[in-house]
Chains A and B, each alone.
Chain A
Amino acid sequence: MITGGNIFTVATLRAQTALFVAVLFGVTLYASVCNLLLPQDSVFYVSTYTVTLMGKYLCYALLALAVDVIWGYCGILSLGHGAFFALGGYVMGMYLMRQIGDRGVYGNSELPDFMVFLNWQELPWYWCGLDHFWLAALLVLLVPGLLAFGFGWLAFRSRVAGVYLSIMTQALTYALMLAFFRNEMGFGGNNGLTDFKDILGFDLQADTTRVALMLCSALALGTAYLASRLILASKFGRVILAIRDAEDRARFLGFRTQDYKVWLFVYSALLAALAGALYVPQVGIINPGEFSPLNSIEVVVWVAVGGRGTLYGAVVGALLVNYAKTRFTGVMPEAWLFALGSLFVLVTVCLPKGLAGLLSRLGSRRRRLAAVDA
């Protein structure tokens, strides 16, 4: 599939990772300092709105990274990763709901507003204990992780692959969307969970909390990037590539490929869930719309634009497309989907390896020219 000249040496990968981490923390720390320490009328002041927007983009970037890990490296095209993202988000949302206490519209300290509205008398069992942050943090990973394990185990053991798998992931997220829309599920139905007040006792509207959440997202993205690099650079990663390119062959070498795929899928789902959990306190709402199949497809577009199988490409793609989306929907909201669609077509036709591919092509041309000059 890919031939010659495309194998990154260990040194290039190290330099790439170091650059990525440096840029990530450089930019986010700069924004934090400028937001907290500078007066509002300073030229260098970064508004809280921008900080929150950055935090949101970083969560999207983490989600894109999760998709790149399985799509770019293992060839599993998941069109349902939004499901894991939203589940992580819902668990976090439930924790944040419990933190509201009696500050809700109905002033009921036992039940969230929407349950009072539905005339529920007591908290459903699956809401119990979620006022503890540690339990919420655990469930943020456990619930999507178990779902990914169950789904992956069934799908990969039965050797479902390719388009069929993509359709199944799509169905998974669609089914969850329909379920979460129902009021009797106890997750706020159509409106979802919102009106959050504070997290771990810190006011969600405060600048410092906003900055801290953005930095947490950057930290999560940086850690996930490093962890993914390490995993993919290990022999496990080489087996994953082998499965992508010739799964049968890998089986005949004695690798139980289905186990490898399941665990990579679970890892990827955990990254997506983490992204969702960090996303919700920053945007202040989670509703069933996050499960919409369209969202998951958008993530795939980000990765395709950035260039799959590079990790940094997914991050760059997510940031660029989302920035464009913010700008575009500000000017012409109804045209955004058309723009997104044409972007995807354009990238598929002109830049099959995305922006990362363009970059490495330019890089190698410069090296060739330099070699000719020398």
Chain B
Amino acid sequence: MLEDLRQLLRRDQVWPFLLEPVPPAIDVSHRMILYVEGLTVSFDGFKALNDLNLYLEDGELRCLIGANGAGKTTLMDVITGKTRPDAGAVFFGQTLNLLERSEADIAALGVGRKFQKPSVFEAQTVYANLELAMKMNKGIWPTLLARLTPEQRDRIDQVLEIVGLDHRRGLAAGALSHGQKQWLEIGMLLIAEPRLLLIDEPVAGMTAQETERTAQLLTSLAGEHTVVVVEHDMEFVRSIAKTVTVLHQGAVLAEGSMAQVQSNPAVVEVYLGDSQ
């Protein structure tokens, strides 16, 4: 009893609840950052994902392609915790089971997501949008008392510059053009400093010039981050991808370089066939 009290009152230690929570480390000792195995999701009998297997190497840039309903978005929903699968496993690194965590926890672990439709917080300024997305403690008290440090301000300025919204910082995000909203979302992804970025159709609604800039940005992100891009624009995919995964009816149809995939007869038949 007394010993317990002594332990409790040790002056060289801080009580655990006063410490900032440290996110668990991501174990990438086997080079892989994401393991998706045997994933099955069905909605009312329709199998959106059917025994899907996917492995991502740490730092790679991967493109996911596939016709509508091939299961691309469902896959992202499962990885980010929005949808619970019927069967299968999703591991982040060697040790972290994503299926038993909530959306917020998964995001805090370092999985960032950009939606198909730009979904910024329209009623708030561009600056506030970035501030909300910034990597920091997202608990109630820390948020209530949060003040931006000079480093964090610099970081926001830096990201504003990268996405070219420097002169729009005080504007409501809802007043931005479609392309600018896309950029703001990309900025929000950058500032969250995720290990794994899931990006759904980044260049939809962008001009050729903007598309090119996006391609540059995404390629520069790979290496430090792992990037997964879902895109319909084949030209764009060709310009950035080293490895392409083709999904079809909820399973992986083919995987390899763009050239390999394009010459795969199964792929040609179901996907590229009708576009060429």
Q: Which residues of A contact B132 (CB under 8 A)?
A: 235, 238-239, 242, 250, 253
B138 to chain A, nearest CB (A): 5
A2 within 8 Å of B (CB atoms): yes
CB 8 Å contact bits of A169-188 with B (1 = contact, 0 = none): 00000000000000000000
Pick the contact of B119: A5, A249, A257 (CB < 8 A). A249
Say whether A256 contacts B123, CB under 8 Å. no
Say whether A5 contacts B172, CB under 8 Å. yes
Q: How far is the CA of A216 from the CA of B74 in the complex (A)?
A: 56
B225 within 8 Å of A (CB atoms): no
A43 within 8 Å of B (CB atoms): no
A233 to chain B, nearest CB (A): 11
Q: Which residues of B contact A2 (CB under 8 A)?
A: 122-123, 172, 174
B131 within 8 Å of A (CB atoms): yes
Interface centre among A6, A235, A236, A244 (most CB of B within 10 A): A235
Q: Which residues of A contact B128 (CB under 8 A)?
A: 238
CB 8 Å contact bits of A218-258 with B (1 = contact, 0 = none): 00000000000001001110110110111011111111110
A158 within 8 Å of B (CB atoms): no
A1 within 8 Å of B (CB atoms): yes
Q: Which residues of A contact B145 (CB under 8 A)?
A: 234
B271 within 8 Å of A (CB atoms): no
Q: Which residues of A contact B272 (CB under 8 A)?
A: none
Say whether A248 contacts B82, CB under 8 Å. yes
Q: How far is the CA of A5 from the CA of B119 in the complex (A)?
A: 19
Pick the contact of A257: B104, B146, B172 (CB < 8 A). B104
Q: Which residues of A contact B144 (CB under 8 A)?
A: 231, 234-236
Pick the contact of B172: A6, A239, A249, A250 (CB < 8 A). A6
Chain B: residues with CB nearer than 8 A to chain A?
Answer: 80, 82, 102-105, 107-108, 112-113, 115, 119, 121-125, 128, 131-133, 138, 140, 143-146, 170-172, 174-175, 188, 192
Chain A: residues with CB nearer than 8 A to chain B?
Answer: 1-7, 231, 234-236, 238-239, 241-242, 244-246, 248-257, 259-260, 263
Besides the known contacts A4-B172, A235-B146, A248-B82, 7 further A-B residue pairs in the complex with CB atoms under 8 A apart = A2-B174, A235-B144, A238-B132, A249-B119, A252-B107, A256-B138, A259-B140
What 3 A-B pairs come out closest when comparing CB atoms? A3-B174, A254-B107, A4-B175
